[in-house]
Every structure is written in structure tokens, then in C-alpha cells.
Copies of this chain bind each other. A is one copy, B any other.
Amino acid sequence: MLSESRKLITIVSESALEARLTKDIEALGAHGYTIVDARGKGHRGVRNADWQQAGNIRIEVVCDDATASAIAAHLKQHYYENYAMILYTSDVNVLRPEKF
């Protein structure tokens, strides 16, 4: 029943980018996304969500391979240089493949 496989792409980046990232993700063909508030540490230091400027979001998108690649390429080009961001993908099985 869960035989259909898709890509799950997870992005962790600055809260301030939420509106722009979701717009981009939808424009690149994803049918949905899920966001949670996060904090963390990386090359750009601690982002501990103490106040608005200093928080992260964690975005998940389930989509097909091509969309995942397109999103990764787009984010790499437009955001990696100047913003705190990491991104990784993995394989998942979904219940209703037609949704993604």
C-alpha cells in the first residue's frame, strides 16, 4: 500500500525567509509543504530563536525527483551564499502518490 516512492526534501533556514521560500517552492511545482519553528547552530553561528530575527524554520516538502532537484538547485543559487541554510533529501513512501 505504501509502495510508491517520493523524495522528501528538508530545508532549515532563517525564519525571515518563510514567505519567499514557500513562494519559490510552490512555483517550482511542489503541491504542499509543512513548516515547524526551529532553532540551531551551524556555520553562521547560533540561531536560538530568542527573538524574531534569530529563529529558524524547518520546511519539509514531499515531491517527485525532478521537483526536489529543481528546489535544491534554485535554493543553492539564490540563498546559499547569503543566508543560513542547510538542505537534504531522503526517500519516503507515500500513501496517496497522486497528491504529491
Using a CB–CB distance below 8 Å, which chain A residues touch chain B? 1-2, 6, 8, 10, 12, 22, 26, 31-43, 56, 58, 62, 68-69, 72-73, 75-76, 80, 86-96, 99
Q: With CB as the reference atom, state the residue of chain B lying closest to A49.
A: B35
Q: Which chain B residues border A2 with CB–CB below 8 Å?
A: 68-69, 72, 88-89
Contact call B38/A33, Cβ cutoff below 8 A: no
Contact call B99/A42, Cβ cutoff below 8 A: yes
Stoichiometry, copies per complex = 3
Complex alpha-carbon distance, A95 and B69, angstroms: 10
Contact call A72/B1, Cβ cutoff below 8 A: yes
Complex alpha-carbon distance, A72 and B92, angstroms: 14
Q: Which chain B residues border A26 with CB–CB below 8 Å?
A: 41
